[in-house]
Amino acid sequence: MSESRDSPYPELKKSHTMAHTGRPWTDHKPPSSAPVWAAIEGLARYHVLLAALELDLFDTIGSTGPVDAPRLARITGTSAPHLRSLLDAVVALGLLEQIGGLYGLNDTARRYLVSDGPATMADLVAVAPGPHDNWGDLAETVRRGGPARPIEDDPVAFYVPLAEGTFTTMARCAARADLRIRYSALHRPRVLDLGAGGAPWAIAVLNANPGATAVINDLPGVLEVARRKVTDHGLGARVEYLPGDFHTVPLAPGSFDIVVLGHICRTEGAEGARHLIGRAHHALREGGTVIVADYFVDPEHKSNPHAVLMGTTMMAATRRGLTFTYGQFAEWLREAGFESLRLIEPIGFQQQFVATRPRTGHEPEGGR
Ligand SMILES: C[S@@+](CC[C@H](N)C(=O)[O-])C[C@H]1O[C@@H](n2cnc3c(N)ncnc32)[C@H](O)[C@@H]1O
């Protein structure tokens, strides 16, 4: 009685008490097990999406329209009760809708999961976590200080599908970045795209600026993806290809207006990342721009879980993979000689440092 007089909602009041003690804080109320379940379900969630893509469910539903499980099972050659269980899980993940037993695409599926969606990630899902076997070996990787089968042992096998899978997102990001960088307004800019993958950055500049030319680098084998994308965009006449290791391929000094380091630093360790930034500075003419795209972490490595997990993904799959903080990248850029650092985010979760190689007055404007 005394409690109800004290407050109309005594339990609520009790659970919202500030009676936290210690650091990290603890509370007299037992915490929910939800974060543990979220981790356990992470495996199920991923495989539900992967199976739905492997069975072509999003594209099939896209062409049939809302459909029940037995009919979809006949079309996809699957077992109806098993398919229904899978479809219900996809609905639970928020990636399809179900009304009156009919499964249909929702806005998320239409944008990201059908293969011709405007921001499709359909080809990315299988490759984004890196080689799947490495996750089962994570504790050993941490003990040993590196994965047993790093991507570097067979980079072409991993990076060809990755370059295909990331292209749509990165191309959207690179095209949108023009609103911030204005590469379309430069006079006959020359672009160097190191570790270019499908070359989304070079292609964005070439598309936006008819006077632009590009040198596109990647490992032999992976460079074929860029060649295909460049050809698809009808840009082949303005591109030179530079196969080889981005740490050692010869780069003419002072000869580029834009150098792109697109998601290539976090596999290289701190020394490798600094080396690439130094190479970019060397290759740029005075007044030129470096673009460093990556997933950056905050100084305490805890307020951007997406970037933190990306770092763990790199650790699980590559020899030197880690993510670095905004501060580390800024320091390395300044140490290499860059000025006017700024951070842009042309589309959600895709950030780039943009910085300028300052003019010394010794090089003629527009000089190479
Ligand atoms: C994560 S992908 C990034 C692709 C593209 N730059 C982007 O932003 O979407 C990394 C790319 O770096 C390439 N790469 C990795 N190690 C390399 C090396 N030592 N020399 C040249 N390219 C390399 C890979 O083949 C892959 O295409």
117 with 62, same domain: the answer is: yes
CA 193 to ligand 1 center in whole angstroms: 10
44 with 81, same domain: the answer is: yes
> Do 363 and 285 form a contact (C-beta atoms < 8 A)?
yes
Please tell me the distance from the alpha carbon of residue 285 to that of residue 281, in angstroms, as a whole number.
8
* Residue 13 reports pLDDT greater than 70: no
CA 197 to ligand 1 center in whole angstroms: 5
- What's the CATH number where 338 sits? 3.40.50.150
Residue nearest to atom 1 of ligand 1 (CA): 263
56 with 188, same domain: the answer is: no
Residue nearest to atom 18 of ligand 1 (CA): 245
What pLDDT was estimated at residue 31? 82
- 275 residue type, one letter: H
73 with 165, same domain: the answer is: no
Please tell me the distance from the alpha carbon of residue 229 to that of residue 32, in angstroms, as a whole number.
48
What pLDDT was estimated at residue 367? 38
**For the stretch 5-42, what's the b/e string if a residue is b when 16 or more beta carbons lie within 10 angstroms of its beta carbon?**
eeeeeeeeeeeeeeeeeeeeeeeeeeeeeeeeeeeeee
164 with 63, same domain: the answer is: no
* Residue 17 reports pLDDT greater than 90: no
Q: Which of 121, 167, 169, 218 to mutate to test the pocket of ligand 1 (most atoms within 8 A of CB)?
A: 218
294 with 347, same domain: the answer is: yes
151 with 287, same domain: the answer is: yes
What pLDDT was estimated at residue 194? 98
Q: Is residue 91 part of a domain?
A: yes
Q: Is residue 21 part of a domain?
A: no
C-beta 196 within 6 A of ligand 1:
yes
**C-alpha to C-alpha distances, 45 to 2, 60, 90, 278, nearest whole angstrom:** 47, 21, 8, 41
Residue nearest to atom 25 of ligand 1 (CA): 159
Q: Is residue 5 part of a domain?
A: no
Residue nearest to atom 11 of ligand 1 (CA): 195
Report the candidate in 230, 238, 235, 232 with the shortest Cα–Cα distance to residue 190: 238
199 with 316, same domain: the answer is: yes
pLDDT of 202-239, one tens digit each?
999 999 999 999 999 999 999 999 999 999 999 999 99
C-beta 259 within 6 A of ligand 1:
no
- What's the chain's Rg over C-alpha atoms? 25
Across the range 171-181, mean pLDDT stands at 97
C-beta 219 within 6 A of ligand 1:
yes
C-beta 346 within 6 A of ligand 1:
no
C-beta 170 within 6 A of ligand 1:
yes
What pLDDT was estimated at residue 29? 73
What pLDDT was estimated at residue 12? 52
CA 218 to ligand 1 center in whole angstroms: 6
**Which token pair is 54?**
């492997």
C-beta 226 within 6 A of ligand 1:
no
**Dihedral sign from CA coordinates of 135, 136, 142, 147:** negative
* Residue 310 burial (CB count, 10 A): 22
What pLDDT was estimated at residue 352? 98
What pLDDT was estimated at residue 11? 54
Which run of H or E residues covers position 286? strand 284-294
Question: Tokens 């080689």 correspond to what residue?
Answer: 131
What pLDDT was estimated at residue 368? 36
What pLDDT was estimated at residue 3? 46
113 with 162, same domain: the answer is: no
Pairing of strands 97-99, 190-194: unpaired
> Do 235 and 203 form a contact (C-beta atoms < 8 A)?
yes
Q: In sequence order, what are the beta bridge partners of 262?
A: 293
Q: Is residue 191 part of a domain?
A: yes
- 182 residue type, one letter: R
C-beta 166 within 6 A of ligand 1:
yes
C-beta 165 within 6 A of ligand 1:
no
3-state SS, residue 9: coil
- What's the CATH number where 88 sits? 1.10.10.10
286 with 196, same domain: the answer is: yes
Among 62, 94, 122, the domain boundary falls at 122
pLDDT of 52-83, one tens digit each?
999 999 999 999 999 999 999 999 999 999 99
Range of the domain at 155: 140-356
Q: Is residue 278 part of a domain?
A: yes
What is the percent of the chain with per-residue pLDDT over 70, rounded to a whole number? 91
Comparing 140 with 9, the larger pLDDT belongs to 140
pLDDT of 99-122, one tens digit each?
999 999 999 999 999 999 999 999
Confidence grade of residue 1 (pLDDT, cut at 50, 70, 90) = very low
Q: Which of 124, 159, 169, 191 to mutate to test the pocket of ligand 1 (most atoms within 8 A of CB)?
A: 159
C-beta 287 within 6 A of ligand 1:
no
Q: Which atom of ligand 1 is nearest to the CA of 174?
A: 8
Q: Is residue 15 part of a domain?
A: no
Residues in the chain, total: 368
Share the mean pLDDT of the chain: 93
CA 110 to ligand 1 center in whole angstroms: 29
Among 91, 122, 153, the domain boundary falls at 122
Q: Is residue 107 part of a domain?
A: yes
* Residue 10 reports pLDDT greater than 80: no
Pairing of strands 97-99, 102-104: antiparallel
> Do 230 and 255 form a contact (C-beta atoms < 8 A)?
no
3-state SS, residue 237: helix
Q: Is residue 13 part of a domain?
A: no
147 with 103, same domain: the answer is: no
What pLDDT was estimated at residue 30? 80
> Do 58 and 122 form a contact (C-beta atoms < 8 A)?
yes
Residue nearest to atom 15 of ligand 1 (CA): 195
Q: In sequence order, what are the beta bridge partners of 102?
A: 99
3-state SS, residue 8: coil
> Do 213 and 241 form a contact (C-beta atoms < 8 A)?
no
Across the range 277-301, mean pLDDT stands at 97
166 with 228, same domain: the answer is: yes
Across the range 329-339, mean pLDDT stands at 98
3-state SS, residue 247: coil
Domain count of the chain? 2
